[in-house]
C-alpha cells in the first residue's frame, strides 16, 4: 500500500509540533510540546538545542501514535522552523557546544554596529538582501566561536558544524549537515544571487567555511531517518514564513500572504528575480524547487495582535482578544480615532526606531468601542503600509491577499483589511499554513503530490472579504492614518 501521509515538523520559538497531513492537505493529527525559554541577561534569549531535538522527536512519535501510523504509511517528513536561531555542535558527538542563540537575542548588536562602522552595510545588503542586524544568524555563529573556549580552532579544523534549527534537526535525523535556500538566505552569509556562501562575508565575520551546511533546494530528499521505527525520507526544509507563503499556494509572482500573530509577517512572491528594497523590506529566498529559485519580499509589523493584548492587559478594555470583534461592531466607524501602536518604533516603510505610540482624533464622545476599533484598524493600516511599499518596489499589483495566524480569526479585522487595501482578503480553511507548506514541499520531492497546480487545488477557501469602500472613502481613511503616523514620528 502506498504511503498516504506526510509528517510536518513545525519547530517554533515556543513549541515543537508535528502535524500529520493527508493527500487532501487536511490535518489528521497534531502533537505539541513546549520547551524552556532561557534569558541569561536582559535582551538575551537562548534555547537548549537538545531539548528542542527531544521535544521534536517526541511529538513525531506521538502524532504517529495518535494517527495510528507505521513508518510505511508516511511518504515523507517536511521540516519548517523558527528562522535565524543558531546552533553550533560537535560534528562527531553531535553535542551542542553552547545553547542555541534565538533570533530575538540582541547580544550581537555591537558586532552589527562594527560592520556598519567599517562601511560594509551596503555590501551585506546587496549580497544577502538583508539589513545588518543582530536578528540574523551570522553574528550569532561568530559570537559562539568567539566565546566558547577553543571553538575557533576546532571550527577551522572542521570539527564543528553550525547552522539554523533546520540543520540541527536534519543532522539529528539523518546524520547529514545541510540546509535549504530559504534558511540560508536568513544567515547574512549567503549570496542570494550566486546561491553560495559568500567568502567576503565569511571573512568579514571571521567564520571558517568548514562548519557551514551544504545548501540544497527547499523541496529535496535531504536524507532518511530510521528513528521513527522504519526508514522515512526527510524531503523538505523551509523557514517558517516562507513555508506559510508556500502553504498559501502563493506560487505566482505577486501572490502575497499576511500572518497576523503577535506581530505581522507579510511576504510577496516576486518570481525568479530578487527585488532589492530601498525602504527596509528584506529580499529573501522563498524556496528552491524544480531547479529554480523563487524570491520574496518580506516586511514586518512589530505590534500586530500585540495591540489587542495591550487593550486586554494594560488598559483592561476587553476580557479576551476575541471580544474585540463584537465591540468594534457596535459602532459604524472609529469616529476619527486612530491608534498608532509604535510601542517599539515603526518598521517599513518608516524605519523610525524613536517613534512612539499615539492616539489621535479623540473627542468627548470617544469611548471604549472607539479605542478597541481603532486598535484593530491599526493592524490593518500598518499591514497596508507594508503591502503598498511592496507594490511600489516591485511594480507588481497584488490581486488578493491570503491570510493566516491567530488574529485572522477576527472577521472585523479582515474586512477592514480588504477595505483599506481595496483588494479581496482570503482566509483559507487550513490555518496551519506554515506546516502545510513544509508538507507540500516534502510531498513534491517524493511524488506524493505531482505539481504545484495539484497542490493549489487542495487550497480551500473559508471566507473571502471583498473591499466595500469607494476610492474616496479609502483615501480619506488612509490620509487620517498618515496624519496619525506623522504625529507618532520622532
Nearer to ligand ADP, 407 or 423 (CB): 407
Closest separation between CB of residue 433 and ligand ADP, Å? Answer: 11
Can you tell me the distance from the alpha carbon of 489 to that of 217, in angstroms, rounded to the nearest whole number? Answer: 42
Can you tell me the distance from the alpha carbon of 237 to that of 8, in angstroms, rounded to the nearest whole number? Answer: 10
Closest separation between CB of residue 412 and ligand ADP, Å? Answer: 8
Map residues 216-235 to x or -, x wherever contact with ligand ADP holds by CB under 6 A: --------------------
The set of cell numbers assigned to 329 is 461592531
Q: How long is the chain?
A: 490
Can you tell me the distance from the alpha carbon of 472 to that of 339, in angstroms, rounded to the nearest whole number? Answer: 21
Nearer to ligand ADP, 181 or 265 (CB): 265
Which one of 20-28, 67-75, 142-150, 300-308 is the stretch in contact with ligand ADP (CB under 6 A)?
A: 300-308
482 is a contact residue toward ligand ADP (CB under 6 A): no
Cis preceding linkage at 355, omega within 30? no
Q: What is the DSSP letter of 281?
A: P
Residue 334 Ramachandran class (φ > 0 left, ψ -120 to 50 alpha, else beta): alpha
Map residues 396-415 to x or -, x wherever contact with ligand ADP holds by CB under 6 A: ---------xxx-xx-----
Q: Is 51 helix (H, G, I), strand (E, B) or coil?
A: helix
Can you tell me the distance from the alpha carbon of 347 to that of 133, in angstroms, rounded to the nearest whole number? Answer: 13
Closest separation between CB of residue 243 and ligand ADP, Å? Answer: 13
The set of cell numbers assigned to 246 is 508556500
**Which residue has its beta carbon closest to ligand ADP?**
406
Closest separation between CB of residue 404 and ligand ADP, Å? Answer: 8
Closest separation between CB of residue 437 and ligand ADP, Å? Answer: 15
Nearer to ligand ADP, 263 or 274 (CB): 263
Closest separation between CB of residue 402 and ligand ADP, Å? Answer: 15
Q: How many whole angstroms from its chain centre is CA 16?
A: 15
Distances (CA, A) of 325 to 193, 303, 419: 44, 18, 16
Nearer to ligand ADP, 208 or 305 (CB): 305
Nearer to ligand ADP, 191 or 410 (CB): 410
Cβ-based neighbours of 326, under 8 Å, separated by 6 or more: none
| Residue in this structure with the C-alpha cell 534549527, named with its chain if needed | 165
Closest separation between CB of residue 378 and ligand ADP, Å? Answer: 11
Looking at the DSSP bridge assignments, the partners of residue 33 are: 16
Within positions 244 to 273, which residues make up the interface with ligand ADP, using CB under 6 A? 261-262
Candidates 35, 84, 79; CA nearest to 439 is 79
Nearer to ligand ADP, 174 or 324 (CB): 324
Q: How many whole angstroms from its chain centre is CA 152?
A: 31
Nearer to ligand ADP, 361 or 406 (CB): 406
Closest separation between CB of residue 129 and ligand ADP, Å? Answer: 24
Closest separation between CB of residue 323 and ligand ADP, Å? Answer: 8
Nearer to ligand ADP, 321 or 344 (CB): 321
Can you tell me the distance from the alpha carbon of 118 to that of 108, in angstroms, rounded to the nearest whole number? Answer: 16
Nearer to ligand ADP, 78 or 304 (CB): 304
Within positions 302 to 361, which residues make up the interface with ligand ADP, using CB under 6 A? 305-306, 308-309, 321-322, 324-325
Closest separation between CB of residue 180 and ligand ADP, Å? Answer: 22
Which secondary-structure segment (H or E) carries 167? helix 165-174
Q: How many whole angstroms from its chain centre is CA 80?
A: 10
Can you tell me the distance from the alpha carbon of 302 to that of 343, in angstroms, rounded to the nearest whole number? Answer: 9
Nearer to ligand ADP, 334 or 407 (CB): 407
Nearer to ligand ADP, 219 or 324 (CB): 324
Closest separation between CB of residue 415 and ligand ADP, Å? Answer: 12
Closest separation between CB of residue 443 and ligand ADP, Å? Answer: 24
Contact 273, 262 (CB under 8 A): no
Dihedral in degrees, nearest 10, Cα atoms 307, 308, 313, 317: 120
Contact 85, 47 (CB under 8 A): yes
Can you tell me the distance from the alpha carbon of 234 to that of 5, in angstroms, rounded to the nearest whole number? Answer: 13
Q: How many residues bind ligand ADP (CB under 6 A)?
A: 15
E strands in 137-271: 160-164, 178-180, 190-191, 196-197, 214-216, 219-225, 232-239, 256-260, 264-271
Nearer to ligand ADP, 30 or 308 (CB): 308
Summarize as ranges the residues that interact with ligand ADP (CB under 6 A): 261-262, 305-306, 308-309, 321-322, 324-325, 405-407, 409-410
Amino acid at each position: 500500500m502506498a504511503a498516504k501521509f506526510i509528517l510536518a515538523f513545525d519547530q517554533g520559538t515556543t513549541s515543537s509540533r508535528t502535524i500529520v497531513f493527508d493527500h487532501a492537505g487536511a490535518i489528521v493529527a497534531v502533537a505539541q510540546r513546549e520547551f524552556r525559554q532561557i534569558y541569561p541577561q536582559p535582551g538575551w534569549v537562548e534555547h537548549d538545542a537538545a531539548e528542542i531535538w527531544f521535544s521534536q522527536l517526541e511529538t513525531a512519535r506521538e502524532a504517529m501514535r495518535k494517527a495510528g501510523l507505521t513508518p510505511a504509511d508516511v511518504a515523507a517528513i517536511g521540516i519548517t522552523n523558527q528562522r535565524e536561531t543558531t546552533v553550533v555542535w560537535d560534528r562527531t558527538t553531535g553535542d551542542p557546544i553552547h545553547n542555541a542563540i534565538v533570533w530575538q537575542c540582541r547580544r550581537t548588536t555591537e558586532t552589527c554596529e562594527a560592520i556598519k562602522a567599517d562601511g560594509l552595510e551596503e555590501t551585506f545588503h546587496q549580497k544577502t538582501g538583508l539589513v545588518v542586524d543582530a536578528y540574523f544568524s551570522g553574528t550569532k555563529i561568530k559570537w559562539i566561536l568567539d566565546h566558547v573556549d577553543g571553538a575557533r580552532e576546532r571550527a577551522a579544523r572542521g570539527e564543528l558544524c553550525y547552522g539554523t534549527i533546520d540543520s540541527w534537526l536534519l543532522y539529528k535525523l539523518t546524520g547529514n549537515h545541510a540546509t535549504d535556500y530559504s534558511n540560508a538566505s536568513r544567515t547574512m552569509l549567503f549570496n542570494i544571487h550566486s546561491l553560495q556562501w559568500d567568502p567576503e562575508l565569511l571573512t568579514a565575520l571571521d567564520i571558517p567555511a568548514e562548519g557551514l551546511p551544504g545548501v540544497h533546494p527547499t523541496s529535496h530528499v535531504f536524507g532518511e531517518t530510521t528513528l521513527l521505527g522504519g526508514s522515512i525520507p526527510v524531503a523538505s526544509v523551509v523557514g517558517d514564513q516562507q513555508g506559510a507563503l508556500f502553504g498559501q499556494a502563493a506560487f505566482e509572482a505577486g501572490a502575497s500572504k499576511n500572518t497576523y500573530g503577535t506581530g505581522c509577517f507579510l511576504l510577496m512572491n516576486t518570481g525568479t528575480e530578487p527585488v532589492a528594497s530601498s525602504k527596509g523590506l528584506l529580499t529573501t529566498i522563498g524556496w528552491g524547487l524544480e531547479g529554480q529559485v523563487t524570491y520574496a519580499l518580506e516586511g514586518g509589523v512589530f505590534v500586530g495582535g500585540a495591540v489587542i493584548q495591550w487593550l486586554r492587559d494594560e488598559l483592561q478594555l476587553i476580557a479576551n482578544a476575541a471580544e474585540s470583534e463584537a465591540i468594534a461592531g457596535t459602532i459604524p466607524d472609529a469616529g476619527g480615532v486612530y491608534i498608532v501602536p509604535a510601542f517599539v518604533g515603526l518598521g517599513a516603510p518608516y524605519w523610525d526606531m524613536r517613534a512612539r505610540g499615539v492616539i489621535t482624533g479623540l473627542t468627548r464622545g470617544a469611548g471604549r468601542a472607539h479605542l478597541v476599533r481603532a486598535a484593530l484598524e491599526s493592524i490593518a493600516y500598518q499591514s497596508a503600509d507594508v503591502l503598498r511599499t511592496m507594490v511600489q518596489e516591485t511594480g507588481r499589483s497584488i490581486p488578493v491577499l491570503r491570510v493566516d495566524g491567530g488574529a485572522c480569526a477576527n472577521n472585523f479585522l479582515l474586512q477592514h483589511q480588504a477595505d483599506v487595501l481595496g483588494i479581496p482578503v482570503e482566509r483559507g480553511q487550513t490555518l496551519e499554513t506554515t506546516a502545510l507548506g513544509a508538507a507540500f514541499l516534502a510531498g513534491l520531492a517524493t511524488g506524493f503530490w505531482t505539481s504545484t497546480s495539484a497542490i493549489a487545488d487542495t487550497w480551500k477557501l473559508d471566507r473571502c472579504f471583498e473591499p466595500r469602500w469607494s476610492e474616496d472613502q479609502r483615501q480619506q481613511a488612509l490620509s487620517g492614518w498618515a496624519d496619525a503616523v506623522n504625529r507618532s514620528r520622532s
